[in-house]
Amino acid sequence: MTESERQLIEKLRRIEALFAGTSHAGERVAAAAAMDRIRERLRGLQASDAAIEYAFHLRDDWSKQLFMALLRRYDIRPYRYRGQRHTTVMARMPKSFVDSTLWPEYQELHDTLRRFLNDVTTRVIAECIHKDTSDAETAERAGPALLTNETGRTTNRAI
C-alpha cells in the first residue's frame, strides 16, 4: 500500500468519524463506537419515521460500490428490480437518515475518492502515455460538419 493510499484511507476514516460525531477516528475502538452510534441513530429514526423506498441512480460502478458499501455498513439491504439499470440501487430507509447522514456522507466520501482517482489517473497517463494531460483546445467553427446520406441528401448529424 502506498503512502497516498494510506492517507486516503485515513481521510475516509475521518469523514466517517465526522458523521458519527466523534473526534477519535484513527483508533479502532473509536471507529467501532462511531459505527454503533450511527446504527443506533438509524434504529431510533426507523422507530419514529416510516421507511421510504428510494431509487439512487449512480453514474458508474465505483460510485455504486461505494454507495452499496455504505448501505450495508448501516445494515440497509440494497436491491434492484428486474429491468433496472445496473447502476440503479434501491433501498428502504427513513428520509431523515438519508438527509442527515447517508447522502452527505456518501457525497463527502465520493468527492474524496474522485479527487484521488483523478490524480492517480492523470499521473499514470502522464507517465505511461503522454506527459501533456491538458484538456483539448477550444476552437471556433461555423457549425457541425454535415453528412451526406445514401440518397445524396445532406443531414445535420454531426460527425
> Tell me: the pLDDT tens digits for 9-38?
777 777 766 666 555 545 556 666 666 777
What per-residue confidence (pLDDT) applies to 34? 67
Which contacts (CB < 8 Å, 24+ apart) does range 75-84 have? Answer: 75/39, 75/42, 76/42, 84/55
- CA distance linking residue 92 with residue 42, whole number of Å: 12
> Which one has a higher pLDDT value, 155 or 105?
105
Is pLDDT at 55 greater than 80 in this prediction?
yes
- CA distance linking residue 51 with residue 42, whole number of Å: 11
- DSSP one-letter code for 102: I
> Which one has a higher pLDDT value, 59 or 140?
59
- CA distance linking residue 57 with residue 146, whole number of Å: 35
Is pLDDT at 150 greater than 50 in this prediction?
yes
- DSSP one-letter code for 137: P
% of the chain with per-residue pLDDT over 70: 74
Is pLDDT at 40 greater than 70 in this prediction?
yes
